[in-house]
C-alpha cells in the first residue's frame, strides 16, 4: 500500500477515481484518501450518522479505514483474484484476531450505480491507524523506539504463525502504527494458510522482500509454495531498514537487479553486507533472519527471535541498574578524594601503572569478512569510547579495526554493556586498547566477543 501523494482525481495507480470527502460508502462517510495499491484504495472514514468533528461515544463507532477493491472492468480471472484476496483478509481477520494485527470489522459488496467504476467493489472495514512504519522510516525512527517496533512485529508474526498463517507480503508499508505508536500488521490479501509446513500463495508480492528461494520457486496450480521463513527473511530486511535507512542490503538499481544479488547470496556466491550502523545485537538478529536458505532460517522463528529481544532488553535494564549503582559509588569516591587529596585519585576506569600489556587478535564473526577485504569499511569494527554505554555508532572512536588485527590491551573490565555477536556469543567483558600515538582519544574499548585470543589481563581500576 502506497501513501497517497496525488492531488487530482485518480489514485496513485490511475485505475480508480478518487472518492471526494463526504462521499458515502455503505454506512460510512469518506473523510480522506490514505493510500493506494495495485488492487485496492484505502480511505479514512467516519460513521454516516456522526457529524464531522464529533468524537464517537459508542465502542465500534469510531473512525475506520475502508479498503475498496474494485472489480468493474476486470477480466474474470482478475476478479477471482480480487475475491480470493478479500476472502483471505476476512477469514484471517475473523479467525486470528490479535492486538498486533489490524482489527477487522465487516465487509460488503458496494452497489454504486452513480459511480460505475465502483459497482460491485468489495469493501473491507478495518481499524484505522495513525500511519505506517514506512512513514516513520522516511521521517527518521527515534532510536528509543527501534527495538520496541521490531519486537511488536515479532509479536504479530508469532501469533500469525501459531494460528497457521504466513503474511507473505511483510514490509514497512504493511506495518501500521496506532496513535500510541503500537504496532499492527496489516494487508493480508496475500496471507497464506498453512497446510502442514507450507501453504500456497499467488505469484505476487514485493520483490525487495522476497527470500532467495522465492525467486526460483516453481509455480503450480495452487500458486507458489510459501513458508513462515519467508516472513522471517522480510523481518530481517525491515530490521536493516529501521537501523540503517537508505542503505540497501543488496546492490542494484531495480528490484529485479537487487533480486539477482539476493540469489547470488542465496547460492553462496556473495556475502551478506549488513551495514555497521546496525548495532551488534540487531546485526546478529538480522543476520539470522537473512540466513540464505529456508533450512538455515527455520530455527529462527518469530517466537525465538522475540525471546532474544526480550532477554536483550532485560539485560540492558539490569545493566542500567548496575551502572546507576556504580555512578552513585563514583560520586561518593569523588567526594572522598576531595577530602584525602586529588593526587590519590584516578580518572574513572584506569589501569595500575605496573599493569603488563597483552595482545588480543580481532575476530569478526561475519564469515564474509574473515578473508582479505582490503580494509573494506563494511567489514570494519568499531572500538567504544565508554564500555558502560550502549555499543552504538555514537559511542565509537574514529579508529577502525578489521578481522585479524593484533591490538595491545592493558586491562579488562567486567559488567560493561552487554554485547552479542553474529554467532550469539554474549559478554559484558571489555578490554581497554591502546591506540596508536597521536590518536584522540588515546585508548578505546574492544568487547570480548570480538576476539578469540585473550591473555591474562588485570582488572582496570
Instruction: Name the binding residues.
Output: 67
Q: What backbone torsions phi and psi does residue 259 show, to the nearest 5 degrees? A: -65, -35
Cell 469518506 belongs to residue: 30
Crossing angle for the helix pair 228-243 and 302-340, to the nearest 10 degrees: 30
Q: Show the 3-state SS of the chain.
A: CEECCCCCCECCCCCCECCCCCCEECCEEEEEEEEECCCCEEEEEEECCCCCCCCCCCCCCCCEEEEEECCCCCCHHHHHHHHHHHHHHHHHHHHCCCCCECCEEEEEECCCCCCHHHCCCEEEEEECCCEEHHHHHHHCCCHHHHHHHHHHHHHHHHHHHHCCEECCCCCHHHEEECCCCCEEECCCCCCEECECCEEEECCCCCHHHCCHHHHHCCCECCEEEECHHHHHHHHHHHHHHHHCCCCCCCCCCCHHHHHHHHHHHHCCCCCCCCCCCCCHHHHHHHHHHCCCCHHHHCCCCHHHHHHHHHHHHHHHHHHHHHHHHHHHHHHHHHHHHHHHCHHHCCCCCCCCCCCCCEEEEECCCCHHHCCCCCCCHHHCEEEECCCCCCCCHHHEEEEEECCCCEEEEEEEECCCCCEECCCCCEECCEEEEECCCCCCCCEEEEEHHHEEECCCCCECC
Task: Detail the residues annotated as belonging to a binding site for ATP.
Answer: 67
- Sequence-separated (6 or more) residues with CB below 8 Å from residue 76: none
What residues contact 56, with CB distance under 8 A and at least 6 apart?
47, 50, 62, 63
* Angle (deg, nearest 10), helices 280-289 and 302-340: 170
β-strand partners of 406: 361
CA distance 157 to 191: 12
Amino acid at each position: 500500500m502506497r501513501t497517497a501523494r496525488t492531488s487530482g482525481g485518480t489514485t496513485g495507480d490511475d485505475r480508480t477515481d478518487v472518492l471526494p470527502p463526504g462521499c458515502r460508502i455503505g454506512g460510512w462517510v469518506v473523510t480522506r484518501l490514505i493510500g493506494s495499491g495495485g488492487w485496492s484504495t484505502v480511505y479514512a472514514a467516519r460513521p454516516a450518522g456522526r457529524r464531522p468533528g464529533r468524537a464517537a461515544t459508542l465502542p465500534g463507532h469510531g473512525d475506520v479505514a475502508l479498503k475498496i477493491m474494485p472489480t468493474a472492468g476486470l477480466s474474470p480471472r482478475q476478479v477471482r483474484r480480487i475475491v480470493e484476496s478479500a476472502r483471505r483478509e476476512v477469514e484471517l481477520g475473523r479467525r486470528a484476531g490479535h492486538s498486533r494485527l489490524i482489527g477487522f470489522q465487516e465487509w460488503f459488496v458496494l452497489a454504486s450505480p452513480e459511480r460505475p467504476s465502483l459497482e460491485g467493489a468489495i469493501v473491507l472495514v478495518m481499524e484505522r491507524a495513525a500511519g505506517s512504519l514506512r512513514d516513520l522510516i522516511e521521517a527518521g525512527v527515534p532510536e528509543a523506539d527501534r527495538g520496541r517496533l521490531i519486537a511488536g512485529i515479532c509479536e504479530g508474526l508469532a501469533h500469525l504463525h501459531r494460528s497457521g498463517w504466513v503474511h507473505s507480503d511483510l514490509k514497512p508499508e504493511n506495518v501500521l502504527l496506532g496513535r500510541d505508536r503500537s504496532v499492527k500488521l496489516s494487508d493480508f490479501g496475500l496471507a497464506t494458510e498453512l497446510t502442514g509446513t507450507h501453504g500456497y500463495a499467488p505469484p505476487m508480492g514485493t520483490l525487495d522482500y522476497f527470500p532467495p528461494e522465492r525467486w526460483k520457486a516453481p509455480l503450480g496450480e495452487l500458486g507458489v509454495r510459501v513458508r513462515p521463513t519467508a516472513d522471517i527473511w522480510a523481518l530481517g530486511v525491515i530490521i536493516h531498514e529501521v537501523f540503517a535507512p537508505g542503505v540497501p542490503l543488496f546492490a542494484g538499481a531495480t528490484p529485479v537487479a537487487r533480486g539477482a544479488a539476493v540469489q547470488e547470496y542465496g547460492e553462496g556466491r556473495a556475502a551478506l553486507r549488513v551495514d555497521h550502523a546496525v548495532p551488534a545485537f540487531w546485526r546478529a538478529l538480522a543476520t539470522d533472519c537473512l540466513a540464505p536458505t529456508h533450512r538455515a532460517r527455520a530455527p529462527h522463528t518469530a517466537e525465538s527471535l522475540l525471546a532474544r529481544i526480550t532477554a536483550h532488553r532485560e539485560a540492558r535494564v539490569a545493566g542500567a541498574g548496575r551502572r546507576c549503582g556504580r555512578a552513585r559509588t563514583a560520586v561518593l569516591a569523588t567526594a572522598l578524594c576531595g577530602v584525602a587529596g586529588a593526587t590519590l585519585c584516578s580518572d574513572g576506569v584506569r589501569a595500575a601503572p605496573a599493569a603488563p600489556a597483552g595482545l588480543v587478535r580481532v575476530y569478526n564473526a561475519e564469515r564474509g569478512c574473515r578473508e582479505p577485504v582490503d580494509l573494506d569499511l563494511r567489514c570494519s569494527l568499531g572500538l567504544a569510547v565508554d564500555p558502560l554505554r550502549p555499543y552504538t555508532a555514537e559511542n565509537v572512536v574514529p579508529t577502525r579495526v578489521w578481522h585479524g588485527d593484533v591490538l595491545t590491551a592493558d586491562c579488562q573490565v567486567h559488567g560493561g554493556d552487554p554485547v552479542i555477536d553474529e554467532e550469539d556469543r554474549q559478554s559484558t567483558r571489555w578490554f581497554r586498547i591502546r591506540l596508536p600515538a597521536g590518536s584522540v582519544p588515546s585508548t578505546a574499548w574492544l568487547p570480548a566477543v570480538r576476539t578469540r585470543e585473550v591473555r591474562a589481563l588485570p582488572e582496570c581500576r
